[in-house]
Amino acid sequence: MNPNYSQKTMLQAKNIRKSYGKKGSAQQVLKGISLRVLEGEFVGIMGPSGSGKTTLLNVLATIGRPTEGEVLIEDVDVSKMKDAELSAFRRNKLGFVFQDYNLLDTLTVKENILLPVSLGRRNRSEAEQAFQSVAQSLGIEMLADKYPHELSGGQKQRTSAGRALIHRPSLVFADEPTGALDSKSASALLETIATLNRERRGTIVMVSHDPVASSYCSRVIFLKDGMIYSEVYRGDKSRQAFFRDIMDVQAVLGGDAVDVI
């Protein structure tokens, strides 16, 4: 089932190109990518090493700027924003989950999760309510007073996810969020993200090399040599059937072998 583009468009990229290096010897990583993500979608981005998937995520997430093209989030062209304006936009509208957690060692789980809202205008009661809601959803409310060095990898990643979701962002970007986790912790995190996606209608864009992780998505975009190669849609399929579709495309593109679900 393809996306219904009569729905609200959350993210749109128009002819995105990204090059590194000086003119004349520049390396072109993204070669004219256009895509659209609808509100409530959970979109995966996959591709072989060097395909440009992380570069694309960084450009879409406003971490990097395109050499050419436009990135619109909720119809706002973020690719032309100045740094201060962009920083405020990220803080209010976007959430980020990274493979390396990016937690502050001197803050507790609760303090790490509350960091985004502490920069906003929520009062203490609202912040506490928001923390309880997201911590319960992620199953980490009992870890509130622990520090990062006291946590397992899965607990750190769920804390990172809580920080990304605490301010109910319009759009969440995830870069290999299960890359450093064992299979049990990875499955638990992906189930949680998928549930939050369904229940809160949060829009998620995730880069992953792992077809098992991508099988939790509603759609997967495949890159090859800096361009979109193909897309697969889950629709009403089971996750196992969608996993097989993803594997079929990855077999053509080339990629790491994984255990079947």
Residue 20 pairs in a beta bridge with: 27
User: Please, is 233 exposed, middle or buried when counting C-beta atoms within 10 Å of its C-beta (0-12, 13-18, 19+)?
Assistant: middle
pLDDT score for 119:
65
User: How confident is the model over 139-173, as pLDDT tens digits?
Assistant: 899 999 999 999 998 899 889 888 988 888 889 99
Cβ-contact 218, 239 below 8 angstroms = no
User: How confident is the model over 83-110, as pLDDT tens digits?
Assistant: 889 988 988 889 888 877 889 999 999 9
Q: Is the pLDDT of residue 6 over 80?
A: no
If you count them, how many residues does the chain have? 261
pLDDT band per the 50, 70, 90 thresholds, residue 233:
very high
pLDDT score for 258:
46
Cβ-contact 104, 55 below 8 angstroms = no
Tokens, residue 176: 């290999």
| Share of residues in the chain with pLDDT > 90 (%) | 52
Q: How far apart are CA 101 and CA 123, in angstroms?
A: 26
Q: Is the pLDDT of residue 234 over 70?
A: yes
Q: How far apart are CA 240 and CA 260, in angstroms?
A: 9
